[in-house]
Amino acid sequence: MNKSDIIFNLAEILGCEARKDEPMSKHTTFKIGGNADVYIKVNNLSKLSTILKECANSEIDYMLLGNGSNLLVSDEGIRGTVIRLDGDFRKITLVDETTVFCGAGATLARLCKFALNCGLSGLEFAWGIPGTVGGAVFMNAGAYDGEMKNIVHSVSEISPDGKIGRIEKQDLGFGYRTSVYRTNNRIITGVTLKLQKGNPEEIRSKMDDYMQRRSTKQPLEYPSAGSVFKRPEGNFAGALIEQCGLKGKMCGGAQVSEKHAGFIINKSNATAADVRNLIGDIQKTVADSTGYNLECELIIL
């Protein structure tokens, strides 16, 4: 029995949805990526702990997948196990008048709607960001002068050996598109957020405004992974790329968006290699022409 069979069989015994040789193109917003050896949806903490312990015991590599919205998966796929948080990890509850607990597998869209329905403000900036709450905390997602670090109170987590814990806000290491979870190898299972009471009509108006801005300025009609590069100090990645005449540049099926140069889109059956080559061309051209070294915000596996 190989390692893939070990974890696949365990997942089935636990009653988890599990598949072998699952195309990751089905699970990324880029619609790109080869097959994962095993893909598992885990619906509660006990099952997740059991699976993580088996991965450790059998030396099986694994990764957590959110909504696949900031991710480029290799054309060769993923050797090991991909874990998606489902079920209990998608629940959202109101703890008190201004405190919300949200499972890491819930989408930001659902969380924003929940906050709106509760008359809670602070999440408007996240309306339209296509990730999960866990992914948003992992990278300290932000837009329109808002960031997750401004509303996260604490994070529930589980370590690779199945130990359950929690990290308070002051120890989360939030920075520009980063958190302590970039390096600590622990898995975010839930997030406690502190919001403010607000007027539902004003909250809705602000959400609508942000969504309108996104639809006007971003190439939402094509598969992409959002902004490819981090904002360089003192400038904007999209502006630099446009300045270098790279808008519309193609590499295979990948293209620098003609709508927003900070985005690379899957224009026509792009491969991961197409995207990586285009990223390399952009970085070299921008560095040679402007002196700015663009750093990827996109996670490349």
Note the Cα 19 to chain centre separation in Å. Answer: 22
- Strands 224-227 and 250-251 turn out to be unpaired
Q: Is 227 one of the annotated active-site residues of the chain?
A: yes
Note the Cα 190 to chain centre separation in Å. Answer: 15
- Strands 78-85 and 62-65 turn out to be parallel
Q: What angle do CA 77, 82, 87 make, to 5 degrees?
A: 145
Q: Which residue has the tokens 């709607």?
A: 113
Q: List % helix, strand, coil for the chain (3-state, nearest 5).
A: 35, 30, 35
> DSSP string covering 186-228, please?
-EEEEEEEE-EE--HHHHHHHHHHHHHHHHHHS-TTS-EEEE-
The HSE-up count of residue 109 (CA atoms within 13 Å, CB side) is: 7
- The single residue of 22, 124, 157, 297 carrying the catalytic annotation is 297
Q: Is 177 one of the annotated active-site residues of the chain?
A: yes
Closest CA relative to residue 154, chosen from 172, 174, 173? 172
| The amino acid at 261 | A
- The single residue of 49, 156, 227, 257 carrying the catalytic annotation is 227
Q: What are phi and psi of 129, to 5 degrees?
A: -75, 125
Q: Is 276 one of the annotated active-site residues of the chain?
A: no
How many residues comprise the chain? 301
- The single residue of 147, 177, 224, 276 carrying the catalytic annotation is 177
| The amino acid at 188 | I
List residues with catalytic annotation: 177, 227, 297
